[in-house]
Amino acid sequence: MEKIVPQITDNQRVNEHRAAVEHRATWMYLMLEEAQKRGLSVEFAREAIGRCGCIQKLARMETCPDFESFMKATMNELVNQAWEQEIKWGEDEVFVENHYCPLVAAWQKLTDDDERLAELCDIAMDGDRGLFDKPLMKFELIQTLGEGAPTCQMRFTKIKE
Amino acid sequence: MEIKNTAKKYLDDPAVVTARNCIIARGEYLYQLVNEAKKKGLSSEFAHCAIYNWGDSIRRRLKDPETTNVKEIIDQLFTEMECKIWEDEVTATEEEARVEFHYCPLLEGWLRNTDDPQMLQELCDIAMECDVALFDKPRFDYSIEESFFSGADHCTMVIRKHKPETEGDTDAH
C-alpha cells in the first residue's frame, strides 16, 4: 500500500493535532505488539478501544444530546482539516469522506504489512463504533484508507424516536 | 487522598486545549488497554515495555542520541507548546535539569476512568517509562521528587548527569 500523503501541510494547528493523534496511534501499535508477543489476541484491544468510544459518547451527549449537535461537535473544523474531509450534511444523514488519516500515517511509519494496517484500522474503528453507534445514529463504515481504499467513507444515519 | 491535577493556564488557548484533549484520549486508551489486558490475565509489563520502546525511539531521533548534555535534550523536548500543555517550569544546565509540571492531561484521562490509587500509580509508572528510556542510566540519573500522588499539585522530575562513584562503575540500566 502506498504511503498516504496529506494535501494540507502548512497549517501549524493541523500539524500539531495530527502529531498528537499519531502519538495515540503509535502507543496503540506498540502496546498491541507487546501484548500479542505475550500471547494475547487483539480482542482485548477491540474491547478496550470500543469502551473508550462509548465513554466519549456519553460525555459528549451531555452537551450534544441530539444527532445534529453531536455530529457538528465531532466533525469540527480542526478534524475536518486534519482528516481532509468532504462532508455531505443532511437533516437525517451525514456522509463523510476522509482523504487522510493521521492514525494510518503513524502506523505506516511502523509497519509496511498491509494486513496489519487493515487490522489496526479496524481495531481503531471500534472506537468510532462505540462513539457513534446508537442511540443517536446508525454508523456505517463503507471503506477505509487502512484497508487500502483511496478514502475512508462513513455514513451516519439518525435514529428516529 | 485528593489528587490535585487542575489545568490553570491557557484554558482559552484553543491549540493548547485541543492538544490536552488528545493527550487525555491517549491516557484513556492506555487505561483501557492495560485494564482489559489484566482482565484477560496479562500483567501490565507489556505496557511498560511498549512505552519504554517509544521513549527509546524518541531518544534515537534526537540530534545526538548519546549525548550526556542534559540541557541539549531538554531544549529539544520541552518546546514552548509542550510547556504550555503541561504547565511546565523547566530549569536546565549541562549537568542537571528540574522539570516541574503543574498539570498532567494523562492523569486527567485516567481519573475519568478510575479512582483506584494503585492503578493510577501503575499507569503513571508506565507512562514514565518514556522518560526512563530518555533519561536513565548509564548516562543520567532520573528521579521523581514530588508527584500528584504524594499530595503535591505538581510533579517534579530531576535529571542529573550520571557520575560513576568509583572507577569501573558499571551501574548500567
Please report which residue ranges of chain B form alpha helices under DSSP H: 14-39, 45-60, 70-77, 80-85, 105-111, 117-127, 129-135
B32/A48 Cβ within 8 A = yes
pLDDT score for A28: 96
Instruction: Scan residues 65-124 of B and list those with Cβ closer than 8 Å to A.
Output: 81, 112-113
| Domain assignment present for B79 | yes
Q: What are phi and psi of A27, to 5 degrees?
A: -60, -45
Please indicate if any CB of chain B lies within 8 Å of the CB of A47: yes
| Domain assignment present for B2 | no
| Domain assignment present for B167 | no
Q: Which of A31, A46, A131 to mutate to test the interface with B (most CBs of B within 10 A)?
A: A31
pLDDT tens for A92-117 read 999 999 999 999 999 999 999 999 99
Q: Domain A12-158: which topology?
A: Muramoyl-pentapeptide Carboxypeptidase; domain 2 (3.30.1380)
pLDDT score for B167: 53
- Section A127-137 average pLDDT: 95
Spatial distance between the Cα atoms of A145 and A86, rounded to a whole number of angstroms: 14
pLDDT tens for B47-93 read 999 999 999 999 999 999 999 999 999 999 999 999 999 999 999 99
**Confidence check: pLDDT of B149 > 90:** no
pLDDT score for A47: 97
Whole-model pTM: value is: 0.92
- Residue B153 structural domain: 14-161
| Domain assignment present for B8 | no
* Mean pLDDT across chain B: 92
Q: How many domains does chain B have?
A: 1
- Looking at residue B137, which CATH number applies to its domain? 3.30.1380
pLDDT score for B173: 45
Alpha-carbon A107 to chain mean position: 13
Give the domain ranges of chain A.
12-158
